[in-house]
Every structure is written in C-alpha cells, then in structure tokens.
Structure 1
C-alpha cells in the first residue's frame, strides 16, 4: 500500500508544461488504479489553470483527467489568484485551504504521503 500526493504545479503555457501535466495525471492514474493505494491529486499554483481546460470534452487529456478527477482538489487561494475559482467550483473540484488558504503539505507528510510534484 502506498500513499501518494501528486501535486500539479505546471501552468498551461507551453509544450513542456503540458508534458508535466500529462505525466502527473498518468502517475495519479497509476495510484488510483491500485485499490490498495491512497491518492491525493492536488492542482496548486498555476496548475489550477488546467481544471477548466481539462473539463472541456474535446481536450486531448479530458478522459485521463476524468479517470482521476474523483481524487482531485485545488488550492483555494491559487484558484482565485489565477482567476479560475468559479470554473473550479463549477467542475465540482474541492478547493482546499488547510494552510492559510493553501493545501497543507505538512499534514500530508505527517500522514505518510509521498509528495510528487509535476
């Protein structure tokens, strides 16, 4: 059994960041597909911008995103800072604010989660 927190930090600009997103979603899916593993998928920082893009059914990675969306959350502060808070709420993605408006990485570490950033 593994506990993994996959954190998507890559923004939506550029091919490199798309690659980081896809690698992060693929890693998340690998954990999600194993019933014994615990997964937290967190869109943080500029990564919050991906949620409205991935919600579009014609996005190349919409289906991959949908396969892990149930485990997804987004930074509350960053969703607002990057102007996607309404889109994140409309998508039904939980916004977390455990640490001054941001996700608490420390609590994940305390709960024995491996933190993997993309």
Structure 2
C-alpha cells in the first residue's frame, strides 16, 4: 500500500502553472485508481485559486478533478489569503487548519505519506 499526499501549490497564472495543475491531478488520479493506495490531494498556497475553476463544469479540467475530488482538501488560511474562501466553502471541500491555519505536513510525514508537490 502506498500513501501519497499530493500538494498543488501552483497558482492560476501562466501556462507553466496550468501544466503543474494538470500533472498533479493526473498523478492524484493514478493513486486514486489503485484501491490499495491512500491519497490526499491538498490545494495549498496559490493553488487554492484553482478550486473555483475546477468546480466549474465548463472547466477543461473539471472531469479530471472529479475523479479525485473525494480525496481533496484545501488549506483554510490560504483560501482566505488568496480570496477564494467563499468558493471553497460553497464547494463543500474539507479545509485543513492543523498547524497555524495550514495543513500539517509533519503529520502527513509522521503518517508515512510520501509528499509530492506541484
């Protein structure tokens, strides 16, 4: 069994960040497709800006996002700092605030998750 925490840090500006999002979602999907794996997909930092776009059914990446949505969480602090707090709340996604308002990366490491960032 593999435990993976994929963290999307890339913001919505620029072609390279779109590539990082797409690669992160594809990697998450690969873990999600294996029933023996445990996945946590976390939108953190500027990556929280993707939530409103991915929730939009017209988004090019909406379908891919839907394949991993059940394993998705969002940094509570960063969703506010990047102005997407309302969209995150409307999405119903879990927000994480374990360490000073942010997800606890240490807890993930302690739980034997491989941390992969995009």
Q: Normalising by structure 2, report the TM-score.
A: 0.99
Q: What is the SS of the residue equivalent to 1:22?
A: helix
Structure 1 residues 58-116: Cα deviation after superposition (integer angstroms, max 9, x where no partner): 11010000110000000000000001011011111111100000000000000000000
Partner of 1:41 in structure 2? 41
CA distance in 2 between counterparts of 1:23 and 1:92 reads 24
Partner of 1:18 in structure 2? 18
Structure 1 residues 31-62: Cα deviation after superposition (integer angstroms, max 9, x where no partner): 00100000000000000000001111111010
Q: What is the SS of the residue equivalent to 1:90?
A: helix
Partner of 1:83 in structure 2? 83
Q: What is the SS of the residue equivalent to 2:67?
A: helix
Q: Normalising by structure 1, report the TM-score.
A: 0.99
CA distance in 2 between counterparts of 1:16 and 1:105 reads 25
Partner of 2:94 in structure 1? 94
Partner of 1:103 in structure 2? 103
**Which blocks of at least 5 consecutive residues in structure 1 are unaligned?**
none
Q: What RMSD, in angstroms, separates the aligned Cα atoms of the two structures? A: 0.4
